[in-house]
């Protein structure tokens, strides 16, 4: 069994420990920072318009010293945001994991003229958030509420397990924790033991601070809990591929199988060699992957050059989406101003948002996939057994494909979110311009749309629609999660992979060892069929494709009638997805009703 050492403070370690244990990873918790609230700190809320939190510890210590819960609270990441909601804060927004995004979020939401910002933090913080916002014209007060004291030595349990070589992974979430771990390990004379461990780091800065000779270093794609868990899933899958073996008595006739080559690129299965790893007859996997043969004659240079061009196109598309996001923010500010002064503005038809065209990228990837298939076909003659495999180093190609897969998935999520938000902003702005009687309700609808886009609560905004007679059903539907907010589409897409893997693990694998090994492999490796069928794997593939295309309703439909175990594994995700879809539909109907000029009740 894999064993992981979690170095977070005790208050933060429990959540990540549960997530690891759910994946079959044994956990040892060794807090390397002790949080000590500072005595005698007075919290003065005079003139404060909003609160800033860059850690969950800042949220907890502030809540102990102040009863304020109704001011806007901006959190650096989703974990801190969730802690704030649990503590009773009603207006919470998350920046998604880093200081850069938190600065951008604050600047887009707040006006420096409306009051100062209070940054609840410890005596040591990462990044210069206060300095950045000060340069942007805000008055920022940093309130030092606690000390984070580094450990001076390892606990007995952690020391024994490291010395015995029983720790496989070390999870580290901050540069200070990384430096503390390196210090106590060296002090214990166990630096060489790091050669048997993999460092799982939240960011490059964390990895650099852990100055030990680790066997390997894995850095999360983003500085978020979700990205760390995604990295954990990748490590688990890699370990399975390197350790699982073929059953002793395979079905006759005995025949050597080519290595299994799989990698996901925007829903298509592309080859990535795993030489000397698992030797598995591909037909038994239930996945549409043809036998692939890697031969020394395949010229990878053209593929590498084409990947470079695709990377450049993805970067250009990312810059375009950044521009679209900026335009959406400006449209939101413009719509708010229009709603507040509707009568004074002339009616005009807003310009439609420019569509984001992913076609060129998709064509380039399809061409790349065809090139790989042609190379494979050229290596195999019909009617003859596969030739002996000659290893080819596909490492650079694999890394580029993995990076492109992540980039395209992120761009797709951003494009869908931008398009959805812009559509509602345009319609609400039109309402505000054309009918003064609707200025308050139009503004309320606008604010609810913004809340749905960011996942924050919208109870106060919804109250402004309570008096509109003919949309009572829509207001009732929106009220279900008004106090806590609904999951964003990006969050649902991000969570689906783990939920689908859990659903696959819940399926009955059968009694024989081979079936159980295959079921375990399919539950850990996120590879879906090219042509989905009606079994569990096929239906999960259809749902995944629908999500990628922005069709949440179709994704939910694909999951109807699943076996009980799989349905239970997906229950939490499904409930959040259904709440999201119901809220979107209710808001759309509300906007349509307001466009028709509805009378008020009474």
Higher-confidence residue of 557 and 293: namely: 557
- Reply yes or no on whether the pLDDT at 353 is more than 80: no
pLDDT of residue 15: 84
Q: In this model, does residue 600 exceed pLDDT 60? A: no
pLDDT-above-90 percentage for the chain:
24
Q: Does the pLDDT value for residue 16 go beyond 80? A: yes
Q: What integer best gives the mean pLDDT of the chain?
A: 74
Q: Is 111 a domain residue? A: yes
pLDDT of 423 above 80: no
In a domain, 216, yes or no: yes
Instruction: Give the span between the Cα atoms of 558 and 551, in whole angstroms.
Output: 11
DSSP secondary structure, 570-594, as one string: HHHHHHHHHHHHHHHHHHHHHHHHH
Q: Could you tell me which residue, 348 or 596, shows the higher pLDDT?
A: 596
The answer to whether residues 36 and 146 touch, using CB atoms and an 8 Å cutoff, is yes
- Give residue 169's pLDDT band: very low, low, confident or very high (50, 70, 90): very high
Determine the 3-state secondary structure of 145 from DSSP: strand
Model confidence at 352, pLDDT cuts 50, 70, 90, reads very low
304 token code pair: 């590498």
Strand ranges across the sheet with 33-37: 33-37, 140-150, 116-122, 48-53, 73-75, 92-94
Answer whether residue 240 shows pLDDT above 60.
yes
Same domain, 41 and 141: yes
Segment 93-147, tens digit of pLDDT = 988 777 888 899 999 999 999 999 999 888 877 778 888 899 999 999 998 989 8
Burial of 148 (0-12, 13-18, 19+ CB in 10 A): buried
In a domain, 51, yes or no: yes
Q: Domain check: are 146 and 156 in the same one?
A: no
Residue 589 has pLDDT above 70, yes or no: yes
What angle (nearest 5°) sits at the alpha carbon of residue 211, between those of residues 207 and 215?
A: 75
- Across 188-296, the runs of DSSP E, i.e. the strands, are 198-201, 216-219, 263-265, 268-270
pLDDT digit string, tens, across residues 509-520: 555 555 555 555
Separation between Cα atoms, residue 332 and residue 224, nearest integer Å: 27
SS in 3 state form for 301-317? HHHHHHHHHHHHHHHHH
Does any domain span residue 17?
yes
Asked if residue 143 lies in contact with residue 41, where contact means CB atoms within 8 angstroms, the answer is yes
> Are 69 and 136 found together in one domain?
yes
Q: Are residues 216 and 72 in the same domain?
A: no
User: In this predicted model, what pLDDT tens digit does every residue of 464-523 receive, in sequence order?
Assistant: 888 777 788 888 889 999 888 898 988 899 889 888 888 888 765 555 555 555 555 554
Report how many domains make up the chain: 2
pLDDT value at 387 more than 90: no
Residues 64 and 75 in one domain: yes
The lowest-confidence range among 67-71, 78-82, 156-160, 340-344 is 340-344
| Torsion angle in degrees (nearest 10) through CA of 550, 551, 552, 558 | -130
Q: Tell me the whole-structure pTM to 2 decimals.
A: 0.42
Is residue 118 domain-shared with residue 200, that is, in the same domain?
A: no
Give yes or no: residues 163 and 123 share one domain.
Answer: no
Are 124 and 220 within one domain? no
User: 150, 173, 198 — which closes off a domain?
Assistant: 150
- In terms of average pLDDT, the best of 193-197, 303-307, 381-385, 546-550 is 193-197
By CB neighbour count within 10 A (0-12 exposed, 13-18 middle, 19+ buried), where does 306 fall? Answer: middle
**CATH of residue 188:** 3.40.50.10090
Domain span at 79: 36-150
Q: Is residue 49 part of a domain?
A: yes
φ, ψ of residue 3 in degrees (nearest 5): -125, 130
Q: How confident is the model at residue 264 (pLDDT cuts 50, 70, 90)?
A: very low
pLDDT at residue 394, as a whole number: 64
- Tell me, yes or no, whether 219 and 162 share the same domain: yes
Once rounded to an integer, what is the mean pLDDT over residues 21-45?
A: 89
Decide which of 115, 150, 185 is a domain's last residue. Answer: 150
Is residue 249 predicted with pLDDT exceeding 80?
Answer: no
Contacts of residues 562-567 at CB distance under 8 Å and 24 or more positions apart, as own/partner, are 562/503, 562/536, 563/506, 563/507, 563/536, 565/503, 565/506, 565/507, 565/508, 566/503, 566/504, 566/506, 566/507, 566/536, 567/503
For residue 253, what are its two tokens? 């006739």
Q: Is residue 253 reached through a cis peptide bond, with omega within 30 degrees of 0 on the bond before it?
A: yes
The answer to whether residues 170 and 192 belong to one domain is: yes
For the chain, the straight-line distance linking the first and the last C-alpha, in angstroms and rounded, comes to 67
Residue ending a domain, choose from 181, 213, 240: 240
Q: Are residues 12 and 46 in the same domain?
A: no
Q: State what percent of residues in the chain have pLDDT above 70.
A: 61
Residue 569: φ, ψ to 5°: -65, -30
**pLDDT digit string, tens, across residues 299-340:** 556 566 656 655 655 565 555 555 555 555 555 555 555 455
Q: Are residues 61 and 210 in the same domain?
A: no
Closest to 59 (Cα-Cα) out of 99, 132, 118: 118
């Amino acid at each position: 069994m894999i064993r992981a050492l979690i170095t977070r403070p005790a208050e933060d370690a429990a959540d990540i420990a549960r997530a690891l244990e759910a994946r079959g990873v044994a956990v040892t918790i060794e807090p390397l920072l002790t949080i000590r609230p500072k005595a005698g700190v007075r919290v003065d809320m005079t003139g404060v318009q909003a609160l800033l939190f860059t850690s969950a510890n800042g949220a907890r210590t502030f809540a102990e010293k102040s009863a304020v819960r109704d001011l806007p609270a901006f959190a650096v990441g989703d974990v801190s945001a969730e802690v704030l909601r649990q503590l009773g804060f009603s207006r919470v927004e998350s920046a998604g994991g880093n200081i850069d995004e938190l600065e951008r979020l604050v600047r887009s939401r707040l006006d420096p003229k409306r009051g100062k910002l209070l940054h609840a933090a410890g005596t040591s913080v990462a990044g210069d958030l206060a300095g950045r916002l000060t340069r942007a014209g805000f008055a920022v007060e940093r309130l030092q509420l606690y000390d984070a004291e580094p450990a001076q030595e390892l606990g007995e349990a952690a020391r024994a397990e490291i010395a015995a070589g029983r720790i496989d992974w070390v999870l580290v979430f901050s540069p200070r924790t990384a430096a503390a771990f390196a210090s106590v390990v060296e002090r214990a004379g166990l630096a060489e033991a790091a050669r048997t461990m993999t460092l799982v780091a939240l960011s490059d800065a964390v990895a650099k601070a852990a100055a030990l000779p680790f066997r390997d270093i894995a850095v999360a794609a983003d500085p978020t809990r979700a990205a760390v868990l995604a990295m954990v899933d990748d490590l688990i899958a890699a370990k399975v591929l390197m350790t699982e073996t073929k059953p002793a008595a395979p079905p006759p006739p005995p025949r050597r199988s080519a290595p299994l080559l799989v990698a996901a690129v925007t829903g298509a299965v592309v080859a990535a060699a795993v030489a000397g790893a698992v030797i598995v007859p591909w037909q038994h996997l239930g996945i549409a992957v043809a036998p692939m043969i890697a031969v020394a004659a395949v010229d990878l240079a053209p593929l590498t050059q084409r990947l470079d061009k695709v990377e450049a196109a993805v970067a250009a598309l990312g810059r375009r989406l950044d521009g679209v996001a900026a335009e959406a923010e400006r449209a939101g500010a413009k719509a708010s101003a229009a709603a507040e002064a509707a009568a004074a503005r002339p009616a005009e038809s807003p310009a439609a948002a420019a569509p984001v065209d992913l076609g060129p990228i998709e064509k380039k990837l399809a061409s790349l996939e065809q090139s790989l298939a042609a190379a494979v076909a050229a290596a195999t003659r019909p009617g003859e057994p596969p030739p002996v495999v000659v290893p080819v180093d596909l490492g650079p190609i694999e890394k580029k494909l993995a990076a492109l897969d992540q980039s395209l998935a992120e761009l797709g999520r951003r494009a869908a979110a931008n398009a959805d938000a812009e559509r509602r902003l345009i319609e609400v702005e039109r309402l505000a311009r054309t009918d003064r009687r609707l200025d308050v309700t139009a503004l309320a609808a606008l604010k609810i749309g913004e809340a749905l886009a960011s996942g924050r609560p919208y109870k106060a905004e919804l109250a402004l629609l309570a008096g509109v007679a003919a949309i009572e059903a829509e207001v009732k539907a929106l009220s279900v999660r008004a106090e806590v907010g609904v999951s964003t589409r990006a969050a649902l897409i991000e969570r689906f992979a783990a939920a689908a893997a859990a659903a696959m693990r819940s399926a009955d694998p059968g009694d024989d060892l081979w079936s159980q090994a295959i079921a375990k492999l399919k539950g850990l490796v996120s590879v879906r069929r090219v042509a989905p069928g009606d079994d569990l794997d096929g239906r999960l593939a259809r749902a995944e494709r629908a999500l990628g295309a922005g069709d949440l309703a179709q994704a939910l439909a694909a999951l109807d009638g699943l076996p009980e175990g799989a349905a239970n594994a997906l229950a939490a995700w499904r409930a959040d997805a259904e709440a999201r879809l119901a809220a979107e539909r209710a808001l759309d109907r509300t906007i349509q009703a307001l466009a028709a000029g509805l009378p008020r009740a009474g």
